[in-house]
Structure 1
Amino acid sequence: MAGPETTRKEPGQAAAPPGADGGQDPAGLGAGLDALEAVPVRRAPLTEVLIRSVLPPIVAIALVLAVWQGLVWAKVTDDYKLPSPARVWAALRDLWLRGELLDIVWTSVSRGLFGFLVALAIGTPLGLVVARVRFVRAAVRPILSGLQSLPSVAWVPPTLIWMGLNDRMMYTVILLGAVPSIANGLVAGIDQVPPLFLRAGRTLGARGLRGAWHILLPAALPGYVAGLKQGWAFAWRSLMAAEIIASSPDLGLGLGQYLENQRNNSDMAGVLLGIFLILFVGIAIELLVFAPVERWVLRSRGLQERAR
């Protein structure tokens, strides 16, 4: 009975190229998969960035102004109820010439940013504890969700009674509005971290605070950043509610108090100007602070094309 044939390599015979026998080269296959996963990064020209990012908002603003001016010309209501864009611009110019515009904006922005940073310092460790300790999670998570759904303006009357009409009342309202959102965002981000990451971290010695800093927080960044954005939105809304209701000369003139003063004077142009300034600050913080952070998080996860 003949045995299986074997192929004998003669001296000087060239080796068969990898894959010639129908097999796969593991190194080549891995390189091909890496090439498929790699996302090409191309720095867009300045003109393309301007057309894609700057032109659409400008067109939208121009359209809104055109519709607004058309409603004024059509006299859909009395002039004092719907002032023209030119009257609102005149109110802005008058505020600038009096040297009050930057002071009003900075009074509110400084309060909002400081209160948000304090909320960040409180909400981050609170979110870590709620996410990792089962008993605390069962006890505190429903409370955080309830506080997050509670309108921020509801906290103004009790804080006025507790603390009086001062800056501490303002910061307390900001904290009560922002901390639950930051903590819930971090909890949601940690819940989405694959357990394999935690096991790998413990194997490498990342436990306790070291594991939280090097494993949990980096892996939970998308949910955490979303919570930060929502926390800032709640902080800014809470501050505006507090400034509108609890207005006093001792607190300084912020955007909320300016809005309420113009309402008391029945100055609709000033009221609209106050609304536009509040909206402008919110958009500016989003574009200058949170949008770059969000793009960095996406790029760090290989999502450059969507982050550009």
Structure 2
Amino acid sequence: MPPEVTVTSVTPTIAPAPARAEAGTSELRALESGLDSLQTARDAGPGRARRLGRSVVPPIVFVLAAVLAWQLYTVISHPRPDLYPGPADVLSALGSAAASGHLATAIGTSLGRGGFGFLLAILIATPLGLLLAEVRWLRRAVGPILSGLQVLPSVAWVPAAILWFGLTDAAVYFVVLLGAVPSIVNGLLAGIDQVPPQLRRVGVILGANRRQLQTRILFPAALPGYVAGLRQGWAFAWRSLMAAEIIAGSLGFGLGSMLEQSRELADLPSVLATILTILVVGIVVELAIFAPVERTLLRRRGLTGASR
């Protein structure tokens, strides 16, 4: 008789569902941790001090070299001081204006006007940009006009603004709005145009209405273009404000009025000192407000390299 063969059935051991879920969760956490480490290693760049040095030191070196060349020219050529003042003369005029309090008053007045007018421009341009992005036929009708207003020099509006509003702050704000609103609207429209259409479709599938689609999907996705439009809008607003203050010099004592008074007195050192002040104020606002906001926004979205 053939030997008996005992067959033992082997049943595979299957882990319970909670155990499988826990194992899958741990694997996902490990994978996520690895990806985070990889992302951190990839994004790790120079420290804040080094980034600040890279962005600040080169302009300072260039300015010092330009001032040194300017001073050498005045020492070697001996030009007329009333037509070609040296850096010492300009610095002396700037110190006199600061000591008398006129410089602080002019900066405060211009910054107050520019800031308030720019906030008004944001409040007007943001809903207008969202409306034009949604209503295509209105954008086709108004878009070319906004582009034309953006390239039109704001100083051209100053005479009309004075005739309409008189020598009041309303004339200044009118010119500032016409300088800033088109840039902000076009920046927002450019940002919305670059939003992937899949985001809009996902929002529609999830049941978002038109208002929710704009405020919760399109506008946040278009923030890089919107911030770029804000930067450009501030530049146009600041230039428009200076033009209005120069032409309508009786509208308080701002930097534009200070510049015009120095011109009337044929005080070229004071003219150059005021021009440098206007330049420095614009650069400080740009570097202190808009540049950090845009850099943080781009870094959070992975749109900037580690070298920045």
Bin of the TM-score, shorter chain as denominator length: 0.7 to 0.9
1:250-308 residue CA offsets vs partner (Å, 9 max, x unmatched): x2210001001001101010000110011011101111110111012111212353584
1:9-33 residue CA offsets vs partner (Å, 9 max, x unmatched): x99xxxxxxxxxxxxxx99999988
Contact 2:43 2:306 in 1 (8 A): no
Residue matched to 2:80: 78
1:46-68 residue CA offsets vs partner (Å, 9 max, x unmatched): 54244322221210110110111
Closer, same or farther in 2 for the Cα pair 1:32/1:97, shift >3 Å? closer
Residues of 1 paired with 2:191 and 2:48: CA distance? 34
Residue matched to 1:298: 298
Secondary structure at the counterpart of residue 305 of structure 1? coil
How far did 1:206 drift?
Answer: 2.5
Residue matched to 1:16: none
Gap runs ≥5 in structure 2: 1-11, 14-27
1:73-118 residue CA offsets vs partner (Å, 9 max, x unmatched): 2327422111111111111111121122211101000100100000
Amino acid at match of 1:272: L
Question: Normalised by the size of structure 1, how large is the TM-score?
Answer: 0.85
Residues of 2 paired with 1:35 and 1:46: CA distance? 20
Secondary structure at the counterpart of residue 121 of structure 2? helix
How far did 1:190 drift?
Answer: 0.6
How far did 1:34 drift?
Answer: 7.9
Residue matched to 1:272: 272
Secondary structure at the counterpart of residue 79 of structure 1? coil
Closer, same or farther in 2 for the Cα pair 1:109/1:89, shift >3 Å? same
Question: Normalised by the size of structure 2, how large is the TM-score?
Answer: 0.85
Query: What is the identity percentage for the equivalent residue pairs of Structure 1 and Structure 2?
Result: 53
Secondary structure at the counterpart of residue 178 of structure 2? helix
Q: 75, 87, 90: which is aligned to 1:88?
A: 90
Residue matched to 1:105: 107
How far did 1:134 drift?
Answer: 1.1
Closer, same or farther in 2 for the Cα pair 1:133/1:33, shift >3 Å? same
Residue matched to 1:175: 177
Q: How many residues align?
A: 286
Contact 2:42 2:306 in 1 (8 A): no
How far did 1:36 drift?
Answer: 6.7
Gap runs ≥5 in structure 1: 1-9, 12-25
Residues of 1 paired with 2:306 and 2:188: CA distance? 23
Contact 1:193 1:216 in 2 (8 A): yes
Amino acid at match of 2:148: G
Q: Aligned ranges for residues 148-297 of structure 1 at < 5 Å?
A: 148-248=150-250, 251-297=251-297
